[in-house]
Amino acid sequence: MARVVLRTVNLKKSFGGIRALDGVSIEIREGEFVGLIGPNGSGKSTLFNVISGVYKPDSGRVYLFGQDVTGWEPHRLYRLGLVRGFQVPRLWGKMLVVENAATAARDRLGVGPLSSVLDRSRWLRWEADESERGLTGRVHRVLEKLNIFHVSMNRASEISGGQMKLTDISRALLGEAKVLLLDEPTAGVAPKLSRDIFEILQELNRQGLTIFVIEHRLEVLFDYVERVIVMHEGRVLTEGAPEEVSRDPRVLDAYLGSA
């Protein structure tokens, strides 16, 4: 069996009186494509926020590639290969869409008050993949694939909600993760495009990327993932293959109960 790349142990996180995470332990193995579902407010986004270092857990631990990364700042996790998207896109609003994508891309040069000037020849040059010119090709490919190339020269704050979501995803893809977390990638996106997004994800997954995705369009999700984790009221309710989970009466209860 493939090694475990992401593991959480008994994660807890409260906001005031609300227990958003109440002892969550999960395991994701290398190369898996896992879905995370659960009714609204069940703590899915909070779990992603804690894993990616945006929030610090009250207790419990997070392991990435076997290393204890609990409480690490997000930029260090990015360096290890963890990349995430946001449920509500957090774009850099005054920058262009293409700049948003380029800023998120991995292997960057010239990020520094001196290297930007002194290392100019290196970050500008044509050949290398990480240079500005190599970057351009990578960015354009992703923007075209997500069908937002035509707004690439618009400010990120001045495009439609669906386009913002896609820009957020483009950043996540350009982050060239080893483990990718996506929070409702299809929310607000046209239905036809939802499947396209999952096709892209599936293709990346086949190339070896580990994907952990929150999704509420279960009919789409279940066609692609191999395993589903269900959360309810801050806990893992159950997990298993899509067809098992969809037959589990507790899952239906959880969804209905919260409605």
Partner 1 sequence: MATELEGILAQWLTYFAIYGIMALSFNIEYGFTGIPNFGKVLFVAVGAYAAGVLASTLVLMLAAPALGVEVVASGEPSYCTAAAKVVFSQAGQVLSTTTLFAIFLAAVLAAAVAGAATSIVASFPALRLREDFLAITLLAAGEILRLVTWTSVWPVCSFNGISGIPSPFTHFLGRVDVLYAGLSLLFLLAAWFYTEYATNSPWGRALKAVRDDEVAAEVYGYNVASIRMQSLLVGSALAGIAGALLVFYSGNVNAGTFRPDMTFEVIAAVILGGAANNLGTLLGAAVISALLILMNPSSLDALGVTLPQGLLNALPYLKYVILGIVILLVLMYRPQGVIPEGPLKTPIVEKTRRKLREYLARVGGQPGAGRQ
Ligand X SMILES: Nc1ncnc2c1ncn2[C@@H]1O[C@H](COP(=O)(O)OP(=O)(O)O)[C@@H](O)[C@H]1O
Q: How far is the CB of 100 from ligand X (least distance, A)?
A: 23
Footprint of ligand X on 6-35 (CB under 6 A): 15, 18, 20
Question: Between 131 and 186, whose beta carbon lies closer to partner 1?
Answer: 131
Q: Closest Cα to residue 65, out of 5, 13, 19?
A: 5
Q: Which of Mg ion, partner 1, ligand X, none binds 111 (CB below 5-8 Å, type-dependent)?
A: partner 1
Buried b (16+ CB within 10 A) or exposed e, 66-89: eeebbebeeeebbeebbbbbbbeb
Q: Closest Cα to residue 98, out of 177, 52, 179, 159?
A: 159
Question: Between 220 and 230, whose beta carbon lies closer to ligand X?
Answer: 230
Q: How far is the CB of 172 from ligand X (least distance, A)?
A: 17
* 87 is an interface residue for Mg ion by CB under 5 A: yes
Under a CB-based contact definition with an 8 Å cutoff, are residues 152 and 143 in contact?
A: yes
* 258 is an interface residue for ligand X by CB under 6 A: no
Interface with ligand X by CB under 6 A: which range of 40-48, 69-77, 143-151, 193-201?
40-48
Interface with Mg ion by CB under 5 A: which range of 81-89, 124-132, 158-166, 196-204?
81-89
Strand, helix or coil for residue 211: strand
Task: Show the tokens assigned to 255.
Answer: 């969804």
Which residue has its beta carbon closest to Mg ion?
45
User: How far is the C-alpha of 237 from the C-alpha of 38, rounded, in Å?
Assistant: 9
Residues 6+ apart with CB under 8 A from 147: 166, 193, 196
* 45 is an interface residue for Mg ion by CB under 5 A: yes
Residues in touch with partner 1 (CB under 8 A)? 52-54, 73-75, 78-79, 83-84, 86, 90-96, 98-99, 102-104, 106, 108-113, 115-117, 120, 123-124, 132-133, 135-136, 139-140, 149-155, 171, 175
Going by their DSSP bridges, the two strands 18-29 and 4-15 should be labelled as antiparallel
Select from 35, 43, 134, 185 the one that contacts ligand X (CB under 6 A).
Answer: 43
